[in-house]
């Protein structure tokens, strides 16, 4: 029996595929791309349709794309083929993650929160490796579900012993797809 979250996301990607496929790589990634190595291994966790994964592959990184949605990963693989890029995609439930130690030069995590991944990401990064993390945080004026939203300062606390290259917490203006939200962003280098 497929995982309920996999079914939910498969249905959403089928229903909204045009929207997802029109997105550009995350600005946090493109703005700080000069920190990326031209070789090595990259991981895009909860990659969706692979927009950011393909961006990493275009930079010369051997890229692994993980998501719970098989449908999204099919779209990601198609995108990579269209761009003549190699992309390794694997259906993965990140609520119980495992990654090899000291393996990745870059790990990106955008708009996804599963706290169980944090210690796994930390050990999976090679020394000198970068983590790009961008996800939603609680706002003081709302009663956001703590499972899906960071506490203020929580993200920075997880990586306090890394070299912080970029950190910010701000508000994201509402759009047709979501209401106004708090956002936390971090780029850090493993010592």
Q: What's the CATH code of the domain at 114? A: 3.40.50.150
Distance CA 148, CA 181 (A): 12
Q: In a structure prediction context, what are the per-residue pLDDT tens digits for the chain, which is 191 residues long?
A: 668 888 888 788 888 878 877 889 999 999 999 999 999 999 999 999 999 999 999 999 999 999 999 999 999 999 999 999 999 999 999 999 999 999 999 999 999 999 999 999 999 999 999 999 999 887 766 666 767 788 889 999 999 999 999 999 987 665 555 566 788 999 999 99
- Domain limits at 139? 4-189
Number of domains in the chain: 1
């Amino acid at each position: 029996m497929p995982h309920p979250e996999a079914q939910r996301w498969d249905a959403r990607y089928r229903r909204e595929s045009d929207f997802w496929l029109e997105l550009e790589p995350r600005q946090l990634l493109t703005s700080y791309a000069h920190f990326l190595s031209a070789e090595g291994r990259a991981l895009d966790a909860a990659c969706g349709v692979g927009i950011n994964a393909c961006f990493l592959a275009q930079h010369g990184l051997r890229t692994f794309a993980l998501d719970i949605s098989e449908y999204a990963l099919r779209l990601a693989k198609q995108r990579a083929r269209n761009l003549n890029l190699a992309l390794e995609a694997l259906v993965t439930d990140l609520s119980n993650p495992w990654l090899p130690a000291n393996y990745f030069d870059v790990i990106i995590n955008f708009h996804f929160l599963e706290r169980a991944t944090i210690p796994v990401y930390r050990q999976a990064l090679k020394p000198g490796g970068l983590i790009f993390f961008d996800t939603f945080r609680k706002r003081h004026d709302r009663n956001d579900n703590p499972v899906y939203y960071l506490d203020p300062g929580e993200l920075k606390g997880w990586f306090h012993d890394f070299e912080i290259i970029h950190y910010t917490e701000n508000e994201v203006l509402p759009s047709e797809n979501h209401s106004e939200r708090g956002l936390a962003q971090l780029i850090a280098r493993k010592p």
